[in-house]
A and B are shown apart, each in its own frame.
Chain A
Amino acid sequence: MNALTVGLFALYLVSLVAIGAYAWKRSKGTSEDYFVASRSIGPIVLFLSLAATNFSAFTFFGFAGAAYKFGLAYYGIMAFGTGFMALSFYFIGKKVWQLGKKNGYITPPELIGDRFKSDSLRTLFLVVMVVFTLPYLATQAIGGGIALNQLTEGEVSYELGAVIVTVVILLYVTIGGMRADAYTDVLQGVLMLVTMLAAVGIVSSGLGGFTTANERLATEWPDLVSRPGGGNFFTPQIWISYMVLWIMCDPMFPQLFQRFYSARDEKSIRFSMILYAPITAILFLCPVLIGAWGRLEFPGLTGKDPDNILPMMVDTFAPSWVLGIMLSGAFAALMSTADSQLLVMSSMLTRDVYRKWLKKNASQREEFVVGKILVVVLALLGLGLALTSVETLFETLTKTTFTGLAVLFPTVIAALYWKRATKWGCIASILAGELTYAGFYYEVLGSDYTYGFLPVIPVILVAVATLVLVSLATSRDASAMADASDDVSTS
């Protein structure tokens, strides 16, 4: 292990903690400041924070691994689907920001519960968000373990790597909250972009040049430059499914949803939407190219090994000290997602459980302290899951988190736009959607029922139909009717 490599990586980790300390100095010691930075995040920081939070370990290791297995077309379903998703910054983010500012919301379930005057719906929404975010949090620790193991050429075990990543995140999130989270996202977002572009340059140069690498791939692995791609993965149904999945799933990530509350103004959200298309177009291409090129150097990887292809390729073509910088970019992606997940889950358990059910008159100061304790507890829980994981990043995420959270999309849209929606319609929609998803996941429902699409398509159809039918069938409380306008009611 090269001392310079370790030194550069250590400098990166120390910088994160130093930013956390800077944010802590500006802390006001209240829950609103700790969880949403007193709604003060401006355009550039918000954009980089949304991007860094959205792009995770999966963006680097998972994309590269999937491109290795399925081919370059993977770029299409990831980049355009995610870029197009930024339209939701308008139809969800704008309203969420307005309502959060007006009514003091900090967590997503607060808005939903308040809109329908329902503690049951608020709790159900909370449970779904926490249950499906925890495995995603675990994948960040998995990615950290893989990257650190690779960086140190096996001297640091995968398990120890996951522990180190978790401890560093804990340090700056615990002391600095959302402000530390957003400020570190700026460093991490820039680092991600620069290192990925450099990695493409170094790896393609090692393969004989950018054009040569692509031409070699087309000649030696023609299935990887076409559809249906490796393993006949890209059927039209799968393509359509992913395009729909990102649009419905990404805004339901609680860590993204909460960022809308933290914006200083609408201009910040508009700015973020505009730049989302170029950032996804550029950044997502890098791991996909490197992953597919990986077949040229390491043709026989199977099982979990394709998830390692990105660090393997950089390790092959870059000097070892460069590898340290490169992998810092991958760490930036996973840490910027994990810290936000920790913070939002802590805020939900603090506001939607502790304050709602255990101590209704808790002060902001008390919430601030409870939130910090919960960050530690949740980090340890995520780490425990990471150390017992047996599936690849790709399988874990697509099978659990994404579809599980997408089920909430119809409820959020109904809460923001459909006056006739009722709490019973939303509760039934979420339960029916999740039960249908469980039916597919545990193979109670045969794959014939998906007609070649991912389960998310029939699951969303069931959720929407249930929401509409049950809402129309259930009577509505008169006061809720009066409140259900563009302006969600105050609590």
Chain B
Amino acid sequence: MELLKSKWFWIIAFGSLFAASLDLWAWDWTEPSVLGLPYVIIYILVLEAILFVLFVLFAKYYWTAEGSE
């Protein structure tokens, strides 16, 4: 869990997620996937789920460890 208290871990984690949101490699994908929704919607939903998990871990292991006033 020490890793989750590292500033650099979080810079890389959030930076990578942001980079993943710029999915230029799949720009013209159009195939419907789940419930007829196109790829782009499902992809963003997955990213939002990952973002939620990162926020939970960040709040628990990094923000809290920094100490509060």
The residues of A with any CB-CB pair to B shorter than 8 Å are 72-73, 75-76, 79-81, 83-84, 86-87, 90, 94, 98, 101-102, 210-215, 217-218, 222, 225-228, 236, 239-240, 243, 265-267, 270-271, 273-274, 276-278, 280-281, 285
Contact = CB atoms under 8 A, between A and B. Distances in A.
Interface in B9-24: 14, 17-18, 21-22, 24
Given A239-B22, A273-B55, A285 B41 contact: yes
Nearest to B40: A73
Given A72-B41, A243-B22, A271-B59, 10 more contacts: A75-B40, A76-B41, A80-B21, A83-B48, A211-B36, A228-B27, A243-B18, A276-B55, A277-B51, A277-B55
Contacts of A226: 28-30, 38, 40
Chain B, interface SS category: helix
Nearest to B18: A84
Chain A, interface SS category: helix
Contacts of A212: 36
B37 interface: yes
Instruction: For chain B, give the interface size range.
Output: 20 to 34
Contacts of A87: 14, 55
Interface in B25-67: 27-30, 32, 35-38, 40-41, 43-45, 47-49, 51-52, 55-56, 58-59, 63-64
Contacts of B2: none
B26 to A, nearest CB: 9
B36 A218 contact: yes
Interface of B: 14, 17-18, 21-22, 24, 27-30, 32, 35-38, 40-41, 43-45, 47-49, 51-52, 55-56, 58-59, 63-64, 68-69
Contacts, number: 109
Given A75-B40, A79-B44, A79-B48, A210 B35 contact: yes
A90 B41 CA distance: 27
10 contacts: A76-B21, A94-B63, A211-B36, A222-B30, A225-B30, A236-B27, A243-B18, A277-B48, A281-B49, A285-B41
